[in-house]
Structure formats: C-alpha cells, structure tokens
C-alpha cells in the first residue's frame, strides 16, 4: 500500500516568498514542510548583490541572503527538503501532491511559491556573463549602472518600462528591438521616444556579448537575412533581458485559475486562490512588481492565512 505523508502546511518552492512563508508557518507551529524546487533560493541566487532589501545597509550577496532566510526558517522548525512537486490533486481537501521521487504528501494547506523564470535569448554568453553585466531585472540591478551605458532587449511594455527606469540612472540606454516597431502601448512608445538618452535599434538581433571580466559590448546583426544585412557592435556595460517571464505554474494549472501567461490569480489584496487552503505567494502570482521585498510580504500573508484557515476548520 502506498504510504502517504500527512502535513498541515506544505510550501512548494523557495526564494523570498517560500522562505518567509516557512518562517511564519513554523513560528505558528504549523510544522511546515517545504520543497525547495529546481532552483533553491529562486532567482535571487543568480544575482551577485542585493542592495534594496531592508536590513542590509551595505548590500548582500543574493545567495547569502537566501541561505540566511533558509537558516532562519529551519531554526524555527521548518522541514526544508531538496526536490520538487511534479503533480497535484487539488480536487478535495486534504490535497494530494506528488514529489519528483514519487512520494505522496497529503496537505491541509498549500502555499505555492514556485516563482517565475525570466526568459533568455539562449545565447551562451548570457550564462558566461550572468552576474557580470547580464541581468533580467532592471529595478534590481540598475543601480549598479549609474552614469554607464546599457542595453535592453525587447519591444513590449516591460522593455520600455525598463529602458525608462534605466534612463534615469545610466548615461545611455540602447533598446534592441528585432522588429520594425515596438509592441508596447502607444503611451509607453511615446515616453521612450521622448527620452533623449534612449536610442532604439530597430531590426537588430543580438548575436553575442564580449568583454574581459564582464560585459563590455554586444555583437548585433541588423536586418538579419536581408540583402543589406550588417554586423554592428555597440559598447555597453550592462545587458538587460526584458522579453518576459514564464510563471512556474504548470503543475497547478488544472486546478487554479491563471491569466493568459500563466500567473496564478488570487483574490484581490490577498494570497488566497479560489480553492480554500491553497495560497499563491511571490512571483508566481505577481506579474507587476517581482521584487524580493514584495515576494517576502506575500509569503508572510500566505502563512498567516494558512494558520487562520486551519484554526477555522479545527485542524
């Protein structure tokens, strides 16, 4: 007979949302079990330094911050495990979830904090210069490029927003757009056009990056495949990806409502989903802010809601 592990609170995923939920759930004596996922610590483990999280006046290495959060959660008794949840049955309570090792967990409450993965172009240089000039978060890392030259890849609202944000910090911002037009809203297009230090490079594709100890420039190709195709190099200090994020919600889509991209929909102002006892925290439910501090806040809310729910149903 298949052995089923029963838990009061299961946290799926780590990062600021998952670890904060774990801290609060453990302190509430919910005896939470947390599966750290395929990228323990989440996207911040790909960031060299975090300067905008309260409590670290001199900044902190992203990996170190996540290790600190994990240690704090474990100190209060959270059972944090490697591995991921690969299957979910949320048809009735208690909810059944299956791990990548085939183990079944029966949970009274579930906090989903699986995050969203930034989309990359797929260039080897993106990995080579990760944390050394390549970033997928302008608001996280833009501060490091004050008075420098940067490039943003993308043509939608996110790319334009990032370019505008960076234009207030950097001396020069290139917006690399592979099409002949921007997909962004008319308002965003106009704002970008009005910024003197933003230069839009239409019909340009990125071939690679170059530099000794970090990004020093990008190899581009203009009008790829056309008769007047041309190779172009630009000198830059930072390369920002703004071509979207993919929410890691596939396991839960059968049961929970998501938007067209895949972000889990929650009841406004709360981490509650349409299913009682199921909560979504962090980037998995946030297509707008995607910051460590907002993720941590939603993780806190999710744990508090889980505690209240269990009290209400007498569990």
Q: pLDDT per residue over 64-98, tens digit each? A: 999 999 999 999 999 999 999 999 999 999 999 99
Q: Which of 9, 78, 125, 141 is catalytic?
A: 141
| pLDDT in the model for residue 255 | 97
| pLDDT in the model for residue 47 | 66
Look at residues 209, 241, 273 and tell me which one is the last residue of a structural domain: 241
Q: What string of DSSP letters covers 263-288?
A: PBP--TTSSB-SSTTEEE-GGGG-SS
Domains identified in the chain, total number: 2
- pLDDT of residue 1 exceeding 60: no
User: The domain that contains 129 carries what CATH number?
Assistant: 3.50.50.60
How far is residue 73's CA from residue 82's CA, in Å, rounded to a whole number?
15
Q: Residue 149: in which H helix or E strand, if any? A: strand 149-153
What is the per-residue burial (b if ≥16 Cβ within 10 Å, else e) of 117-141? bbeebebebbeebeeebbbbbbebb
- Quick one: average pLDDT of 175-199? 95
Look at residues 241, 260, 284 and tell me which one is the last residue of a structural domain: 241
Q: pLDDT per residue over 197-240, tens digit each? A: 999 999 999 999 999 999 999 999 999 999 999 999 999 999 99
Active site residue 9: no
Look at residues 241, 269, 290 and tell me which one is the last residue of a structural domain: 241
Nearest Cα to Cα of residue 33 among 111, 101, 94, 88: 111
pTM: 0.79
Range of the domain at 170: 120-241
Q: pLDDT per residue over 14-53, tens digit each? A: 999 999 999 999 999 999 999 998 778 877 776 667 888 9
Residue 288, classified by CB atoms within 10 Å of its CB into exposed (0-12), middle (13-18) or buried (19+), is exposed
| Percentage above 70 pLDDT, the chain | 98
Q: Which of 9, 78, 125, 140 is catalytic?
A: 140
Active site residue 141: yes
**Do residues 252 and 274 share a domain?**
yes
- Quick one: average pLDDT of 265-282? 97
- Quick one: average pLDDT of 284-291? 90
**Do residues 23 and 83 share a domain?**
yes
Q: How far is CA 35 from CA 73, 93, 94, 108, 306, in A?
A: 13, 20, 18, 16, 17
Q: Which of 9, 78, 137, 160 is catalytic?
A: 137
| pLDDT in the model for residue 315 | 83
Alpha helices by DSSP H, listed for 146-274, are: 157-167, 186-194
**Do residues 9 and 113 share a domain?**
yes
**Do residues 125 and 268 share a domain?**
no
């Amino acid at each position: 007979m298949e052995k089923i592990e029963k838990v009061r609170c299961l946290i799926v995923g780590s990062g600021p949302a998952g670890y904060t939920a774990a801290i609060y759930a453990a302190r509430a004596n919910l005896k939470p079990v947390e599966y750290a996922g395929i990228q323990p610590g989440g996207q911040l483990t790909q960031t060299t330094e975090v300067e905008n999280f309260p409590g670290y006046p001199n900044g902190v290495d992203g990996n170190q911050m996540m290790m600190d959060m994990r240690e704090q959660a474990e100190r209060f008794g959270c059972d944090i495990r490697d591995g991921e949840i690969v299957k979910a049955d949320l048809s009735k309570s208690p909810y059944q979830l299956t791990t990548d090792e085939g183990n079944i967990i029966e949970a009274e409450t579930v906090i989903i904090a699986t995050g969203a993965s930034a989309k990359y172009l797929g260039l080897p240089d993106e990995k080579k210069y990760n944390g050394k000039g390549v970033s997928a978060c302008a608001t996280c890392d833009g501060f490091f490029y004050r008075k420098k030259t940067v490039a943003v890849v993308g043509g939608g609202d996110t790319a334009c927003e990032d370019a505008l944000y960076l234009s207030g910090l950097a001396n020069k911002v290139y917006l690399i757009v592979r099409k002949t037009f921007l997909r962004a809203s008319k308002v965003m297009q106009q704002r970008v056009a009005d910024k003197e230090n933003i230069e839009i490079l239409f019909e340009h594709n990125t071939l690679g990056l170059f530099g000794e100890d970090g990004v020093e420039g990008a190899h581009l190709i203009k009008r790829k495949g056309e008769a007047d195709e041309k190779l172009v190099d630009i000198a830059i200090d930072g390369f920002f990806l703004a071509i979207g994020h993919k929410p890691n919600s596939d396991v839960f889509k059968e049961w929970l409502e998501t938007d067209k991209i895949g972000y889990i929909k929650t009841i406004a102002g709360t981490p509650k989903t349409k299913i009682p006892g199921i909560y979504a925290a962090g980037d998995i439910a946030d297509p707008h802010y995607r910051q460590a501090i907002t993720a941590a806040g939603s993780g806190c809310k999710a744990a508090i809601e889980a505690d209240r729910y269990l009290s209400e149903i007498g569990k």
